[in-house]
Amino acid sequence: MIERKAKYQIGDVVKHRYFEFRGVIFDVDPTFSNTEEWWESIPAEVRPRKDQPFYHLLAENEETEYIAYVSEQNLLRDTSELPVRHPQVDEIFGHFDGARYEVRVNNTH
């Protein structure tokens, strides 16, 4: 299995290609690193490949905020320039320039 360089970086604001949610990346796995049960719960027609980066997001949709785990193939850059309202954003990140957040230097995450 060949590991690819991640397209997105920690602090980037992204949105899901198919589902209505967006978020800020706070961690990256070079390849799939979740449970087989989780992977198999995704409908086969949209199930991502495992041999690509997967991103941990502080995510939000219209109703709520949550943590999401998303494959690179299912992410797009978010161009709304709106900040992410997830309550943990301020714990991990500082300044937001409209496209990405700066990671706090004193972050102990």
Stretch 37-61: mean pLDDT: 93
Please state, for a pLDDT cut of 70, what percent of the chain lies above it.
93
Considering only CA atoms, which of 22, 28, 79 is closest in space to residue 52? 28
Q: Is the pLDDT of residue 42 over 60?
A: yes
9 or 1, greater pLDDT: 9
For the chain, give the mean pLDDT. Answer: 92
Q: Which of 88, 73, 76 is nearest to 20 (CA)?
A: 76
Q: Give me the pLDDT at residue 80, please.
A: 97
**Does the predicted model carry a pTM greater than 0.95?**
no
Question: Tokens at residue 54, please?
Answer: 């997967």
